[in-house]
Amino acid sequence: MFTISKAISSVKTRSALVPFITVGYPNLKATVELIYLLDKKGANAIELGIPYSDALADGIVIQESSRIALEQKIYIDQVLNLIQQVSPNLTVPIIVFTYYNPIVCRGIERFVKEISESGAKGLVVPDLPLEESDYLINLCSDYYIELILFVSPTSSENRIKSIISKAPGCIYLVSSCGVTGLRGSINYDIKELVKKIKRTTDKCVMLGFGISNEYQVSKLMSLQLNIDAIVMGSAFINKITDSLGDDNYENVGSFCEKIKSVIGTK
């Protein structure tokens, strides 16, 4: 079993928690501090976003964090160096989040080899065309990286089956159509889609895009969706923004602990 799937399936809570943060926001030193803090406060994996100027799947919160990181010249090399620095000291695996174009520009095999050597264990590419995914899937497998494929609420049944059959490990279920970001409400009708996926496969299902606060997590738990992991990005980025000017990021750690508490034990 791949490292990410193993980490998620072995949790003692009802779902794993996977916070997302942008590397370099607000700066590299803070990113290192935040990674260690999230590990300490109960994250089951940590998703690190490579700053990108054309992040079409991201909402304004994550786009702004990328803009600030890019102003500091945080690119792939800086991200790789950071992962190499922190990964030996973590108890949880790192997932790299990036878009397909930077991978192609870097060289697909070179990129996969480099993130593997840095210590990352998973890869998320939201705009990867399924029809072009075989080469990347095989490369990731060769380098022991778990490539996580996406299913959206608008995916047809046949497409869902194709995605599940290709997915080497976890499946990332998009909770709502559109970009990432905070929403006043989320699509609770995904329950039937989760059931459909779970009837087809025993692969771990991660739910993300638009999960904003403790109330929404509590509501998701009450629906007994049998989701293996919850991914939260914009909510954590906002907590980081709220801490700017403070001496520490304890409110980010407290938020992580609150979400873990709401998720609750099995």
Q: Is the pLDDT of residue 219 over 60?
A: yes
Catalytic residue among 39, 47, 114, 146: 47
| Confidence category of residue 188, pLDDT binned at 50, 70, 90 | low
Burial group, residue 57, by CB count within 10 angstroms (0-12, 13-18, 19+): middle
Q: Is the pLDDT of residue 252 over 50?
A: yes
In whole angstroms, what is the distance from residue 256 CA to residue 261 CA?
Answer: 9
134 is catalytic: no
47 is catalytic: yes
- Bin 245: left if φ > 0, else alpha if -120 < ψ < 50, else beta: left
Q: Is the pLDDT of residue 239 over 50?
A: yes
Average pLDDT of the chain, as a whole number: 92
User: In the predicted model, what is the mean pLDDT of residues 114-118?
Assistant: 99
Q: Is the pLDDT of residue 265 over 50?
A: yes
Task: Write the single-letter amino acid at 159.
Answer: R
From the list 46, 54, 57, the residue with the least C-alpha distance to 23 is: 46
Domain ranges of the chain: 3-257
Catalytic residue among 58, 114, 146, 228: 58
Q: Is the pLDDT of residue 187 over 70?
A: no
| Cα distances (angstroms) measured from residue 161 to each of 27, 44, 131, 155, 188 | 41, 27, 14, 10, 22
pTM score, two decimals?
0.94
Residue 178's pLDDT is 46
Domain at 3-257, CATH homologous superfamily: Aldolase class I (3.20.20.70)
Burial group, residue 150, by CB count within 10 angstroms (0-12, 13-18, 19+): buried
Q: Is the pLDDT of residue 114 over 90?
A: yes
Q: What sign does the CA torsion over 247, 250, 255, 259 have?
A: positive
Q: Is the pLDDT of residue 255 over 90?
A: yes
User: In the predicted model, what is the mean pLDDT of residues 22-37?
Assistant: 98
pLDDT digits (tens, 9 = 90+) for 31-63: 999 999 999 999 999 999 999 998 787 789 999
Q: Is the pLDDT of residue 177 over 60?
A: no
Residue 247's pLDDT is 82
Q: Could you give the angle at which helices 28-40 and 250-263 cross, rounded to 10 degrees?
A: 30
